[in-house]
């Protein structure tokens, strides 16, 4: 099986209003795909669907292990997501009452695989060494974004979904952060789907897919 993800004829509607339809693409292990498109076209919605966090109205999302997300109920999706997905949300979704290290460690705890040394290494990798005991409210926007990225990477998921992961970072930090996401993708044969308005970020992708109201037509 040389496919990590297959999206077939996906459509999403809110009542009568179609957000997108005709979305087709596949993702191979080790591949980095960027999704670009105008604000409001449905990029975040599409990522949420890929993670099974949002429902869609037509089409299929099939993951490489054969899991067809349409066939799973909410609990099954949550368990599947916990093991296989790392998600960097556009709005971070860092938990305010946990400190930085606890936020990053959470996916490992949920999998019953706590590993303080790995958390420490990941904090250093995203440039947050020494900040593990800070609370989220004591961080800058760019630091929070890096907490969200560390949390998405810590359990080495097969699928990385990142929504504007470098939107709050200066160009040098953005490039380093992208290096980390790409390294994880290449080294572990993961797949990276990255939504971005940044030309610099899209330029580093293996493929750039353009989402519009007419969808994505890609092999």
Q: Name the residues that contact Mg ion, by CB under 5 A.
A: 44, 90
- Quick one: which of 53, 147, 55 has its CA closest to 102? 147
Residue 44 binds to ligand ATP (criterion: CB under 6 A)? yes
Residue 194 binds to ligand ATP (criterion: CB under 6 A)? no
Residue 39 binds to ligand ATP (criterion: CB under 6 A)? yes
**Shortest separation between residue 54's beta carbon and ligand ATP, angstroms:** 9
Binds ligand ATP by CB under 6 A, chosen from 41, 62, 95, 131: 41
d(CA 86, CA 97): 21
**Shortest separation between residue 80's beta carbon and ligand ATP, angstroms:** 22
Binds ligand ATP by CB under 6 A, chosen from 8, 40, 76, 187: 40
CA 68, 70, 71, 73 torsion-angle sign: positive
Tell me which stretch binds ligand ATP (CB under 6 A): 38-46, 100-108, 140-148, 171-179: 38-46
Write the DSSP assignment of 12-27 as a string of letters. Answer: EEETTEEEEEEEEEEE
**Shortest separation between residue 17's beta carbon and ligand ATP, angstroms:** 6
Residue 153 binds to ligand ATP (criterion: CB under 6 A)? no
d(CA 210, CA 138): 37
In the chain, count H helices and then E strands.
Answer: 7, 9
Compare residues 37 and 157 and give the one whose CB is closer to ligand ATP.
37
Compare residues 90 and 102 and give the one whose CB is closer to Mg ion.
90
Contact 25, 7 (CB under 8 A): yes
Residue 2 tokens, joined: 């040389």
- Count CA within 13 A, CB hemisphere, residue 49: 27
Binding site for ligand ATP (CB under 6 A): 14, 19, 37, 39-45, 90
């Amino acid at each position: 099986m040389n496919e990590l993800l297959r999206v077939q004829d996906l459509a999403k509607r809110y009542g009568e209003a179609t957000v997108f339809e005709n979305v087709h693409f596949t993702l191979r292990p080790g591949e980095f795909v960027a999704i670009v498109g105008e604000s409001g076209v449905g990029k975040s919605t599409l990522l949420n669907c890929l993670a099974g966090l949002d429902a869609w109205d037509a089409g299929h999302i099939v993951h490489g292990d054969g899991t067809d997300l349409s066939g799973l109920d909410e609990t099954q999706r949550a368990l599947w997501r916990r093991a296989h997905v790392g998600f960097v949300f556009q709005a971070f979704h860092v938990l305010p009452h946990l400190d930085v290290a606890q936020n990053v460690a959470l996916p490992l705890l949920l999998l019953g695989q706590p590993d303080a040394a790995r958390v420490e290494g990941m904090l250093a990798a995203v440039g947050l060494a020494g900040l593990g005991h800070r609370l989220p409210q004591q961080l800058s926007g760019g630091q929070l974004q890096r907490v969200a990225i560390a949390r998405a990477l810590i359990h080495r998921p097969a699928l990385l979904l990142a929504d504007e992961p470098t939107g709050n970072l200066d160009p040098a930090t953005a490039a380093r952060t992208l290096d980390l996401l790409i390294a994880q993708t290449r080294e572990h044969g993961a797949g990276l789907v990255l939504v971005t308005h940044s030309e610099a970020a899209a330029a580093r992708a293996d493929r750039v897919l353009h989402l519009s109201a007419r969808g994505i037509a890609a092999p």
